[in-house]
């Protein structure tokens, strides 16, 4: 078995922090790193804040919390919560929100976390191992229909029905799947064709991870909350790594960057735009060469507009 490497390279590090700190408050502002991870973005933000600046982070992962506790800086604090709790911050109190939606390399490369088909480990995949059920526990009782829906909708897997049927058949014959390697082998035996260079289990593992952590639902909640907590002139910076996430972010920013007229009340004032989109950035060729995991990243930026009186 390959030996995992637990180093993490933060994607779009300089670009994300540059965009975030272009908020109107600049270095004196209050910022949120909504997905602390291993702290690459947070540390760079802190290095560029003034003594008056503040940074609050969120993360569900206990290992991330332990890493954050190594930062001895009175301007910094972290909450052991998912970033959907962003809306609990005071309204209009934040000058910039950064969301890096990628899973960290230590999470992927730690066999005991169960995120990767490359290493044998328990089929867990929970970001927060203190809450909720593991993938293995869910698969022990889930129906063919539910498994199919998850693999199809979150993995965009065209063989979702076949994989779901194979999982339930295996459960009935020999008991439920409980390890990463067993799941990867079952998918490989079921999926006969795949894009060159892609492991047959890639889409299934992605689907189960997204589902068990309610990642897309949490993203939607956090984006909605950002509109409440961002001050006028504040920045929203989001880095996504697959099409499902990016579609949600793109549509959210587009929706709130235009005036909305209620055609049922033609003389009513239009609902004012709440964001101004600022484009997108992809990793450079040099970054992708140095960190192949960055190749799918897309960073989108927007600025909170003035809130009408």
Q: How many domains does the chain have?
A: 2
Residues 155 and 174 in one domain: yes
In this structure, the answer to whether residues 53 and 180 fall within a common structural domain is no
Of 42, 25, 24, the C-alpha closest to 33 is 42
Q: From first to last of its 309 residues, what are the pLDDT tens digits of the chain?
A: 343 334 678 999 999 999 999 999 999 999 999 999 999 999 999 999 999 999 999 999 999 999 999 999 999 999 999 999 999 999 999 999 999 998 876 777 777 787 788 889 999 999 998 889 999 999 999 999 999 999 999 999 999 999 999 999 999 999 999 999 999 999 999 997 777 778 899 999 999 999 999 999 999 999 999 999 999 999 999 999 999 999 999 999 999 998 655 566 665 555 567 999 999 999 999 999 999 889 999 999 999 998 654
Torsion of CA 48, 289, 57, 49, to 10 degrees: 0
Same-domain check for residues 96 and 221 = yes
173 and 32 in one domain?
no
**Do the Cβ atoms of 42 and 56 come closer than 8 Å?**
no
Q: Where is the domain boundary, 155, 187, 212?
A: 212
Residues 84 and 230 in one domain: yes
Same domain, 65 and 188: no
CATH of the domain at 200: 1.10.150.170
Last residue of a domain, one of 212, 244, 259: 212
Both 225 and 177 in one domain: the answer is: no
Task: Specify if 114 maps to a domain.
Answer: no
Whether residue 7 is contained in a domain is answered as no
Which domain, by its residues, includes 294?
13-105+215-304
Is residue 113 in a domain?
no
Instruction: Tell me how crowded residue 165 is: count the other CB atoms within 10 A of its CB.
Output: 14
């Amino acid at each position: 078995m390959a030996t995992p490497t637990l180093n993490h390279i933060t994607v779009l590090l300089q670009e994300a922090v540059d965009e975030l700190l272009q908020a109107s408050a600049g270095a004196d502002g209050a910022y949120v790193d909504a997905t602390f991870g291993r702290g690459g973005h947070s540390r760079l933000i802190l290095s560029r804040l003034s003594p008056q600046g503040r940074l609050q982070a969120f993360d569900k992962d206990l290992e991330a919390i332990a890493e954050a506790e190594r930062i001895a800086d009175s301007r910094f604090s972290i909450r052991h919560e998912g970033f959907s709790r962003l809306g609990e911050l005071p309204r209009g109190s934040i000058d910039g929100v950064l969301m890096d939606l990628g899973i960290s390399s230590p999470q992927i490369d730690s066999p005991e976390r169960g995120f990767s088909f490359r290493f044998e480990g328990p089929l867990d995949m929970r970001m927060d191992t203190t809450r909720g059920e593991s993938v293995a526990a869910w698969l022990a009782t889930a129906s063919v229909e539910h498994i199919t829906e998850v693999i199809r909708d979150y993995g965009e897997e065209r063989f979702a029905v076949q994989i779901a049927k194979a999982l339930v058949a295996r459960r009935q014959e020999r008991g439920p799947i409980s390890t990463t390697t067993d799941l990867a082998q079952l998918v490989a035996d079921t999926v006969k064709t795949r894009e060159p260079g892609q492991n047959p289990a890639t889409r299934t593992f992605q689907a189960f991870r997204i589902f068990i952590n309610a990642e897309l639902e949490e993203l939607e909640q956090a984006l909605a909350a950002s509109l409440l907590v961002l001050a006028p002139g504040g920045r929203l910076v989001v880095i996504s790594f697959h099409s499902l996430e990016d579609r949600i972010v793109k549509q959210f920013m587009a929706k709130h960057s235009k005036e909305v007229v209620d055609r049922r009340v033609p003389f009513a004032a239009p609902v004012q735009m709440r964001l101004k989109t600022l484009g997108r950035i992809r990793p450079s060729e040099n970054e992708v060469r140095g960190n192949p995991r960055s190749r799918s990243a897309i960073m989108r930026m927007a600025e909170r507009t003035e809130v009408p009186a």
